[in-house]
Amino acid sequence: MAAARAASKPAVRVSMPELLREALHSPRELLAMLAVLVAAMVLTSPLPIFWWGPAALLLAAVPGTILMNRVRVRAEQRARTRHPHRD
């Protein structure tokens, strides 16, 4: 794992506003995030009310994390091309 870290590009800091801006630039990611939330709400609706929050959170966390990782990688690539001297 240390060899993989040494071979990879250095990390670029991306702020939260930059992440949100990047997510808003992609209708596909926005639609996917909305679909994940709606699916979590529909799938948890038959459960008792006190289970809605935890179950919906668990159902939306994994796909949401995958989507936001794609957005973060794209934002880091954009930051690298915008500021090449920071690498």
pLDDT of residue 5: 65
From 34, 60, 23, 73, select the one nearest 81 (Cα to Cα). 73
pLDDT of residue 84: 67
- The number of C-alpha atoms within 13 Å of 32 and in the hemisphere containing its C-beta is 16
User: Could you list the pLDDT tens digit for every one of the 87 residues in the chain?
Assistant: 677 666 667 778 888 888 888 888 888 888 988 898 888 888 888 989 888 888 888 888 888 889 889 999 899 888 888 876 654
**Are 71 and 29 a contacting pair, CB within 8 Å?**
yes
- The span from the CA of 9 to the CA of 84, in Å, is 12
pLDDT of residue 48: 92
